[in-house]
Each structure stands twice: as structure tokens, then as C-alpha cells.
Structure 1
Amino acid sequence: MPVAYRKIDDLPLVIPVFPLDGVLLLPSGQLPLNIFEPRYLNMLDDAMSGERMIGMIQTRPLPGGKGDPQRPALAPVGCAGRVTSFAETSDGRYLITLTGVCRFRTGEELPVRTPYRQVRADFAPYQADLREDAAGTRTASEIDRLMTALRRYLDHRGLAIDWSDAEAAPSDALINSLAMALPFDPMEKQALLEAETIFERKATLTALLEIDAAGGDDDEPTSIQ
């Protein structure tokens, strides 16, 4: 966690947002991104000359298919991250890493002239994200249920992970990394993001793993990056 972000007042009132369905950033998580669209290259240029802060957010469908497909409605909650790694490729792409700082509720979208979108971010409901001790601890039996569900999910999906790393990781880091990396659908990713505490996220994650493992074999095997 960047030292500068110790309280809500340290965070910017307005942030650029990068709408990307199916992609999840959580506080303290690290998200690699390959940026190539001109509007988001512009966004990165501006971010790197300022706060280096970008809000990752999903979109949400409106009833009856209403809304502008070129400018879809934004989800009510996103997560702001700081650019902590930046490289430019020979063909003009940016390879960056965003480190999650704090979730936010999506406020007013500003009528800006930039090609990318900007919103007022309300960080107050998630100020606990800035506390390093916010995760706390849970019993071994509760983690055992998660690990059992994870094994069944991976077997069902034909996936594999490094179990020695998974078992050695702190429980909160494991929960967040699984929530970010596993191929859940956008609505499931949003549910994991909006879980108020790490304990609620663990319960949601465990339930999603158990439901998937109990389902049919309609999905093709995928891989975890």
C-alpha cells in the first residue's frame, strides 16, 4: 500500500475510469494490463503526469437494453489502483501494473473533453480498505472449506495451481488473488468486489467455487495466469 494513502482525504476526488468487464482489481492486489487503445493511452499519459490513479470498473446492463453501447452504464462500485509499474513497447503499447488502493462508489460522471471517462469517486464507504490490519484472521476449519472447494473447482475446470504457494499464502492474500485470477463471470466478479469484508468475500468465493464444481461440464477447460 503506498504510504501516502493513509486516509480518505489522501485520495483524489475525481479519477479516470477504465471500464473492463470480467476484470477485477481488489485493494492490495496487483493487476497487469496491456494498454493499446488510443483513449486509454491518453488516460495513462495523463495519469502518469498526475496522481497515477485509475479506477477499474465494470459496466452494468440497463433494463430493456437501454443505454448507449458506446458509453455503457458504469457499475456502482469499482476499485482505484495506482500505477506501480510502467513500460512502453516498441509498437506503442503500455504495459502497466495497477496496485489496488481502495474501492469506491461511483458518483457523478463528469462532462469532460478527454476521450476517456472520469467520475467523482466516493471512497468513504470503503475507508477500511486503507487499513493494513483490516483483514484479520479466521480459523483453520474455515480456510479448509475454501481449499476443499478450490480443489474441486480446479478438478472440474481442468485447471492447476502451485499448491505449495497457495497453502503458504496468508489467507486474505489468497482469497483476493483467487477472486481476481479465477475465470468468474462479470456478475460474480462484481459480487466479490462488493463483499464488505474479507470474510464476506471468502464466503462468496467459497460459494461460487462450490456451485461451479457441482455444475455440469458445459465449460471448456481454461487456464489461470
Structure 2
Amino acid sequence: MQVGNARYRLARDLPSRIPVFPLAGALLLPGGRMPLNIFEPRYLEMIDEAMAGPRLIGMIQPSLDGALRDDGEPELCSVGCAGRIISLAETGDGRYLISLQGVCRFRVTDELAVKTPFRQCRMAPFLADLEEDPAGAEVDRPALLKAFRAYLQANDLEADWESVSRAENAMLVNALSMMAPYGPAEKQALLEAADLKTRAETLIAITEITLAREDEDFGSSLQ
């Protein structure tokens, strides 16, 4: 997996611990890019530390059941995604505008007791995510595009179909998963899908369920 100027192929290419940024509804996937506006002091410090080291932070959602730790901070989901900071701009008013590119998913094996204001976890990376072509040929591309087109039509949205047609399956599945306007539970299901084929099938199923519900709501409003 080539991300920015770094290449990740083996477990030793990744740190065993990673600072984490809990953010509900945020989905980062391998190869995907996520812009972030960093303004909280603890996360500004996190970015400074990451930039001085491996440039990696972990995007992870708070626990879906709303559980809290004794200190009032949310518990974390068990799976997140490590991202490399590939660009950083200072705004002049104390913020950072950064761009993350996903490297690989990870499972939290332990949250560390640290003195930093930001949280850190020990992680077990999903090494299969580092493969150059993660089973992209197995994706049912026509079914995925059919669901995507139906969603756009139902919501009066448009897409750059020329770019969509050129995108490789892995990039297409992950980009659509990241941009899909679904809730935290659906986002976590997409993140934790066993492989690219399963993620595509999950995205299709979520989209079809959403469209069916919208049709039911529209029908009810006419009665």
C-alpha cells in the first residue's frame, strides 16, 4: 500500500501503538482520503506529535451503545482505520487543515494509560488491507452502480460518471462507502466488512433498505 511518500507492506512498517481521534459518523477506509479541520488543543497536540513521528493517527468511532468511561469520555468501537497525514496547512487562527489517507484497518487490543491529552491505543493491523489489489475483481460492479444510480436519482443528485467508470473496484467501493450519508452503525458495518466484496454487498444492502424506507415514507405522506 503506497500512501503519500510511504509504503506499507508488513506489520513492521506500522507502529504498535497509535493516537486515536474518536469521531462519530466518520469513516476512513484504506486508500480513501479524508479532510479534517483540527481545532481542539488536544488534537492539535496529537497532530504535532504524529507529524514528528510516523504521521499516523487512528480514526475510530465512539462506541455505538453510548457507553462512557469513568472519566466521561466515550468508550471506543473495537475497529478503526489508521491514516497517514499526507498534507497539512496552518490557517493562521490556530487550526490545522489536514488530509488523511487510509492505510489499513486495525483492531484495538488495549487502550493505553497515557499522560497525553489525546487517547492512544495498542493496535493489531488488518494486514490484508496492505495488499495492492484486495480482491477487487470479485466485486459485483454492475449491482453496485445500479444501487448508486438509484440513490442519486431518488435524491436528485448527480455524479461524475466519467470518473466513476474509470475508478478501480477497490477505489470505487471505498469511496462510495465513505461518502454515503449513513449513520454510525452503518458506517461501522462498512468498516468491519470482512473484505472488499462483502463491503460492496453491505453497501448495496444498506442503500436498498434506505431507498425502500424512503418509498414507504413517501407513500405514507400521500395517504
- Give the TM-score of the pair, scaled to structure 2: 0.90
1:19-58 equivalences in 2 (<5 Å)? 19-58=22-61
1:130-149 equivalences in 2 (<5 Å)? 130-138=130-138, 142-149=140-147
Is the 2:85–2:99 Cα contact (8 Å) retained in structure 1? Answer: yes
After TM superposition, the structure 1 stretch with the greater mean CA deviation from structure 2, 161-170 or 12-21, is 161-170
> What secondary structure is seen at the aligned counterpart in 2 of 1:137?
helix
1:14-71 residue CA offsets vs partner (Å, 9 max, x unmatched): 10000001010001111111101111001001111111110000011448x5545841
Amino acid at match of 1:171: N
Aligned to 2:160: 162
> What secondary structure is seen at the aligned counterpart in 2 of 1:90?
coil
CA distance in 1, matches of 2:208, 2:64: 27
In the alignment, does 2:114 pair up with 1:112?
yes
Amino acid at match of 2:32: G
Structure 1 position 196, deviation (Å): 1.2
Amino acid at match of 2:130: L
Aligned length, in residue pairs? 214
Is the 2:136–2:169 Cα contact (8 Å) retained in structure 1? Answer: no
CA distance in 1, matches of 2:7, 2:169: 26
Which residues of structure 2 form unaligned runs of 5+?
A: 219-223
CA distance in 1, matches of 2:180, 2:132: 24
CA distance in 2, matches of 1:155, 1:70: 42
CA distance in 2, matches of 1:36, 1:85: 16
Report sequence identity in percent.
Answer: 52
Aligned to 1:75: 77
Which residues of structure 1 form unaligned runs of 5+?
A: 220-225
Instruction: Work out which of the residue numbers 183, 193, 196 in structure 2 matches 1:195.
Output: 193
> What secondary structure is seen at the aligned counterpart in 2 of 1:73?
coil
1:69-100 residue CA offsets vs partner (Å, 9 max, x unmatched): 84101001000011011110011110111111
Aligned to 2:13: 10
CA distance in 2, matches of 1:143, 1:184: 20
Is the 1:61–1:72 Cα contact (8 Å) retained in structure 2? Answer: no
Amino acid at match of 1:92: G
RMSD value, Cα: 1.9
